[in-house]
Amino acid sequence: MTSPNVNLPRFISVANQKGGVGKTTTSVNVAADLAFLGYKTLLIDLDPQGNASSGLGLDRHASSTIYDVLIGQKEIPEVIQPTELKNLFVIPANPNLIGAEVELINAISREKKLKQALKKLPAEFQFVIFDCPPSLGLLTINAFTASHSILIPTQCEYYALEGLGQLMSTHQIVREDLNESLEIEGVVLTMFDPRNKLTHEVVKEMQQHFPEKLFDTKIPRNVKLSESPSFGKPIVIYDPESKGCLAYLELTREMLRRWAMEPKVEEVIETTAAIEAAPAAQSQPEADLIAEVQVEEVSSEVPVSS
């Protein structure tokens, strides 16, 4: 269990070398929900595919990205970009990031490039979320070296535990050689379908392997979660009353409880759940405006923890 005396800013890697487990969806929506709840949050896209960047409405081919930081051409404050959600900022990625591992292979302290760069992080940020690529290469190692903890999204399927052993081994190596304070933040089950018998078997296995690290909150299969990236919006703006939105808000609430630093989360969740659905005939811009107004009103009432 994470210590309640958590220091801010807190750096969290969202990682799983197995693709298709909801890693980027989790990165985007946990970061968005932390921002929604009043914490100034930075999402750093470390995946060359740039899905976290485009999922928040940013150009994945942006000229200033985390690649420029890693190769020493720019500093962190120069590449931070705002989003339409108050308190949420992003450092985007693009395909150039593929070459970063090759370019850094002979660099001194190559595993610490990101950690060194983050010394220039503006002081007002309280959370930094790293969306790691689906591999355990140099980019992921850089994220682990710079992080306090690793959040592991895992799909509810037969091979859910496959590869987690390798991730745990990498975690241990990083702890021993690069970052002795690196913790496992927890394991979150995604694409949860309670009607599926296999899903419950996976839950039992996870409870046996990670009795203290498995989050109670489970992320359901949800069409709105799948749709929201194509609109460049986190689910808390795209559809605030969807099951996917409420699940990610509850996951974020559970994380905050572990750190004993929960602001007016209950009120925020109740307000979000009570938002009336926009009529079917309503245009998307009108629906967006309603969501944005709700987010702004609630965010302004939530005190920022220091």
Model confidence over 95-133: pLDDT tens digits?
A: 999 988 888 888 888 999 999 999 999 999 999 999 999
* 199 in a structural domain: yes
What are 44's strand-pairing partners? 91, 130
Mean pLDDT of 158-163: 76
Instruction: State which H helix or E strand residue 54 sits in.
Output: helix 51-54
pLDDT of residue 180: 96
Residue 292 has pLDDT above 70, yes or no: no
By residue range, what is the domain housing residue 30? 10-301
pLDDT tens-digit readout, 239-284 = 999 999 999 999 999 999 998 876 544 545 444 444 334 333 333 4
Q: Which residue has the higher pLDDT, 19 or 123?
A: 123
Residue 214 has pLDDT above 70, yes or no: yes
* 3 in a structural domain: no
pLDDT of residue 67: 95
* Percent of the chain's residues with pLDDT above 70: 84
Mean pLDDT of 194-199: 82
CATH number at residue 242: 3.40.50.300
* 232 in a structural domain: yes
pLDDT of residue 287: 42
* 306 in a structural domain: no
Mean pLDDT of 4-31: 90
* 89 in a structural domain: yes
pLDDT of residue 61: 76
pLDDT of residue 263: 56
pLDDT tier at 203 (50, 70, 90 boundaries)? confident
pLDDT of residue 247: 97
pLDDT of residue 208: 86
pLDDT of residue 241: 94
Report the range out of 81-85, 98-102, 156-160, 276-280 with the highest average pLDDT: 81-85
CA distance 305 to 282: 37
* 210 in a structural domain: yes
* 243 in a structural domain: yes
Q: Which residue has the higher pLDDT, 180 or 3?
A: 180
Question: How many domains are contained in the chain?
Answer: 1
* 230 in a structural domain: yes
Residue 4 has pLDDT above 60, yes or no: no
3-class DSSP state of 8: coil
Q: Is the torsion defined by CA of 143, 188, 296, 50 positive or negative?
A: positive
pLDDT of residue 195: 83
CA distance 31 to 225: 15
pLDDT of residue 268: 53
Give the DSSP letter string of 175-240.
HHHT-TT-EEEEEEEESB-TT-HHHHHHHHHHHHH-TTTB-S--PBP-HHHHHGGGGT--HHHH-T
